[in-house]
Chain A
């Protein structure tokens, strides 16, 4: 059974940093495109970033220069380093595995940016 488990969320002050992790199990993690998608409270879903199996990355304009996606294939883990956090970054962050389509979603981790 494929599982994606996120962690690392929490309460952070504006301007602060957090590092999210997503551990994958049940498949060969290194072969897949991985994404982060977020959902602000009561709102719809918004794509954040992607990392390809070869390590190439893509970002939404609103996180460019602030967020960095990375992966450790040896540990089956996806990361999202989030710096210069803003109140509008408050959301549940989901990691998503794509096998040509968005096949698996994690349960999400809540990030709250507030003073």
Chain B
């Protein structure tokens, strides 16, 4: 199975500042068609299902604010929130969907400093 490792486990950032979450896969998740990395990012708030933010590493889901961006390639990926808002407090997960079993990072808890 592909192991997904996020860092840090928790993060406190001031309002308006940048938040960066990293995700590393234990092997390549490069899909053949399209030729893109099969990497997604989710936001989850208490009592709610995960909300898809980013897929194919950097494609923002419809309706997701443009302060959220994804980047990376190979085995190293990053979710960046350019200017933290109060409503961004949540747990964030990365996921590889390259091959079953889908696997997820352990989650990063984002809080306001």
Contact = CB atoms under 8 A, between A and B. Distances in A.
Q: Do they bind each other?
A: yes
B100 A58 contact: yes
Interface stretch (B20-28, B47-55, B68-76, B80-88): B47-55
A44 B93 contact: yes
Interface residues of A, number: 19
11 contacts: A44-B104, A44-B106, A60-B101, A94-B50, A101-B40, A101-B56, A102-B95, A102-B97, A102-B102, A106-B49, A107-B49
Given A102-B55, A102-B97, A106-B49, 4 more contacts: A101-B56, A101-B97, A102-B40, A102-B95
Given A37-B102, A46-B104, A98 B49 contact: no
The A contact surface, by secondary structure, is: strand
B103 interface: yes
B78 interface: no
Contacts of B52: 102-103, 105
